[in-house]
């Protein structure tokens, strides 16, 4: 496109996750038709525009024997974030808080482990909600979890 300023501007919004960089050729031409070319490489800087998403997107189901010893790993949840750097650094947490007396989740690995011994005759299943947050804007996603 003909432009006398030489400034390259965007014509629509860009998405680094879809196209992270552009290779353009700029042409400079005088009024006599003589021209030269220059390669231009434009790399998009990331912004934190995506919340983490759990894989798979539905719910997790795990099971544990009632006489499992304290500290037994039960299940590992995992979320992905397509941003880069700290914008994709995920921390996991668990709700409701009282379930945290029986189970705990490692904020970095997403592994849920047993904190106390269980009694199936007292309670046979537990529903909890796990959250995954990135560390920039705290944008997060939740996923339900059933343990029985
Ligand atoms: Ca991004
Ligand atoms: Ca993110």
The closest ligand to the CA of 19 turns out to be 1
User: What residue ranges do the domains of the chain occupy?
Assistant: 53-147
Q: Confidence band (pLDDT; 50, 70, 90) for 58?
A: low
Cα–Cα separations (whole angstroms), residue 99 to 7, 15, 102, 103, 146:
57, 39, 5, 6, 12
* Residues sharing a CB contact under 8 Å with residue 75, sequence separation 6 or more, in sequence order: 60, 62, 111, 112, 145, 147
pLDDT on residue 91: 93
pLDDT at 148 over 70: no
Centroid of ligand 2 to alpha carbon of 142 (angstroms): 14
Model-level pTM greater than 0.95?
Answer: no
Average pLDDT (127-138) is 83
Q: Nearest to residue 74, comparing CAs of 38, 95, 102, 35?
A: 102
pLDDT on residue 35: 95
pLDDT at 98 over 70: no
The closest ligand to the CA of 138 turns out to be 2
pLDDT at 63 over 90: no
Q: Which residues surround ligand 2, an ion (CB under 5 A)?
A: 48, 50, 81, 83, 87, 134
Domain 53-147: give its CATH code.
2.60.40.60
């Amino acid at each position: 496109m003909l432009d006398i300023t030489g400034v390259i501007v965007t014509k629509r919004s860009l998405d680094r996750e879809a196209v992270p960089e552009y290779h353009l050729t700029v042409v400079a031409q005088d009024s006599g038709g003589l021209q030269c070319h220059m390669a231009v490489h434009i790399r998009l800087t990331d912004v934190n525009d995506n919340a983490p998403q759990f894989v798979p997107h539905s719910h997790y189901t795990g099971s544990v024997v009632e006489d499992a010893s304290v500290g037994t790993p039960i299940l590992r949840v995992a979320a992905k974030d397509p941003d880069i750097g700290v914008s994709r650094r995920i921390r996991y947490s668990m709700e409701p808080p009282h379930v945290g007396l029986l189970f705990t989740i490692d904020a970095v690995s997403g592994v849920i482990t047993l904190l106390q011994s269980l009694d199936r005759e007292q309670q046979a299943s537990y529903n909890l909600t796990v959250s995954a947050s990135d560390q920039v804007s705290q944008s997060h996603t939740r996923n339900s979890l059933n343990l029985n």
